[in-house]
Structure 1
Amino acid sequence: MRKLIFGMNVTLDGYIAAPGDDIGWSVPSDELFRWWLDRELGIDLMLYGRKLWKTMSSHWPTGDQRPDATSAEVEFARNWRDTPKVVFSSTVDEVDWNTRLVTGDAVAEITRLKAEDGGPMSIGGAALAGAAARAGLVDEYQLATHPVLVGGGTPFFTVVDRWVNLELVETRTCPGGVVLTRYETRR
């Protein structure tokens, strides 16, 4: 059975985007970017909701071709293009860059994918990850908590209908006061 990991940058008050989908507060240091890259290199399949897909696919297909791209950004862009991806959306018409589109029941498809042999899967996008969490499918949460309060927006944790007990497996601090934490779901 595959492991499903939900990880994102998050504000101290629990949001992945401020009102208006503003993510300007989440500019990563080189160390933080490298932490995310190291995690992405270990992922066999990326699962995206519509909004996060649009954000990622607007930048990373050519992110390695920017003249100011760091070596980590070049590596991230190449890995992003090469890693298989699934986009869950009923409004996206087409996808590219080693990606397939699922328009049906996301939870059923994620359950099927988890049951397959293979390496870890990442899931991104608050609504998609929230549905997977409510279904008990998320095995690990990775948070890069930024020292900023935005007062509203898109929450990292959507409403769950039962307690989820977690075990802390990693914590460290990056420059700028970003705290990195990883929690595994206790079953």
Structure 2
Amino acid sequence: MRKLTFAMNLSVDGYVAAPGGDLGWSVPSDEVFQWWSDRVGATGLALYGRKLWEGMSSHWPTADQQPGARPATIEYARRWRDMPKVVFSSTARTVDWNTRLVTGDAVAEIARLKAEDGGPMDIGGATLAAAAMRAGLIDEYVLVTAPVLVGSGTPFFTALDNWVNLTLMETRTFSDGVLLTRYETRR
């Protein structure tokens, strides 16, 4: 059975995007970027909601070909393209770069994917992760918290029907003040 992790950058007040989808506050330092790159390199399958997919697929497929691309960017772009991905959307029609599109029941498909053999899965996109969270499918939460308050926007956590008890597994403070906290779901 695969492990499903919800990992994203968020603000201290709990948002993954500021109003209007603004992510300018979440540009990672080199140290945090390397951590994300290593995570992508170790991910067996990435699950994306449509909005996050559109953002990632508009940049990373060719980021390594841009003039002045740094070695870390080149490495991340290669890892991102190589990583198997599933996009969940009822409106998208096509996907590329080692990606499969699912237009049906996201929760049922995520449960099916979890039951398969394979490497760990990451889920990204607040709406998709919220559905998995409410269905009790997330095994681990990784919060990469930037030292900023954005006031409102897209929340990391959704309203839940029941409590989810967690066990703290790791904390790490990066040199720029970003705090990583990793929790495992207690079942």
TM range (shorter): over 0.9
In the alignment, the residues of structure 2 paired with residue 157 and residue 23 of structure 1 have an alpha-carbon distance, to the nearest angstrom, of 17
| Aligned sequence identity (%) | 73
In the alignment, the residues of structure 1 paired with residue 163 and residue 74 of structure 2 have an alpha-carbon distance, to the nearest angstrom, of 40
- Aligned 8 A contact 2:40 2:83 in 1: no
In the TM superposition, what is the alpha-carbon distance from 1:181 to its structure 2 partner? 1.1
Residue number in structure 1 paired with 2:114: 114
The answer to whether 1:24 aligns with 2:4 is no
AA aligned opposite 2:34: R
Residue number in structure 2 paired with 1:161: 161
In the TM superposition, what is the alpha-carbon distance from 1:70 to its structure 2 partner? 2.1
In the TM superposition, what is the alpha-carbon distance from 1:67 to its structure 2 partner? 2.5
- Per-residue CA deviations over 1:130-157 (Å, capped at 9, x if unaligned) read 1001111001111110111111000000
- Normalising by structure 1, what TM-score? 0.98
Equivalences for residues 121-136 of structure 1 within 5 A:
121-136=121-136
| Partner SS, residue 61 of structure 2 | helix
| Partner SS, residue 184 of structure 2 | strand
Residue number in structure 1 paired with 2:34: 34
Using the TM superposition, name which of 161-170 and 2-11 deviates more: 161-170
- Per-residue CA deviations over 1:23-54 (Å, capped at 9, x if unaligned) read 00001001000111111111111100000000
- Normalising by structure 2, what TM-score? 0.98
- Per-residue CA deviations over 1:88-122 (Å, capped at 9, x if unaligned) read 00111100001110000000000000000001011
In the alignment, the residues of structure 2 paired with residue 141 and residue 68 of structure 1 have an alpha-carbon distance, to the nearest angstrom, of 34
Structure 1: 4+ residue segments shifted above 6 A: none
In the TM superposition, what is the alpha-carbon distance from 1:176 to its structure 2 partner? 2.1
In the alignment, the residues of structure 2 paired with residue 104 and residue 44 of structure 1 have an alpha-carbon distance, to the nearest angstrom, of 22
Residue number in structure 2 paired with 1:174: 174
AA aligned opposite 2:151: G
| Partner SS, residue 60 of structure 1 | coil
Residue number in structure 2 paired with 1:185: 185
In the alignment, the residues of structure 1 paired with residue 127 and residue 71 of structure 2 have an alpha-carbon distance, to the nearest angstrom, of 32
Equivalences for residues 93-112 of structure 1 within 5 A:
93-112=93-112
In the TM superposition, what is the alpha-carbon distance from 1:69 to its structure 2 partner? 2.2
In the alignment, the residues of structure 2 paired with residue 164 and residue 123 of structure 1 have an alpha-carbon distance, to the nearest angstrom, of 17
In the TM superposition, what is the alpha-carbon distance from 1:165 to its structure 2 partner? 0.8
Give unpaired runs (5+ residues) of structure 1: none
AA aligned opposite 2:131: A
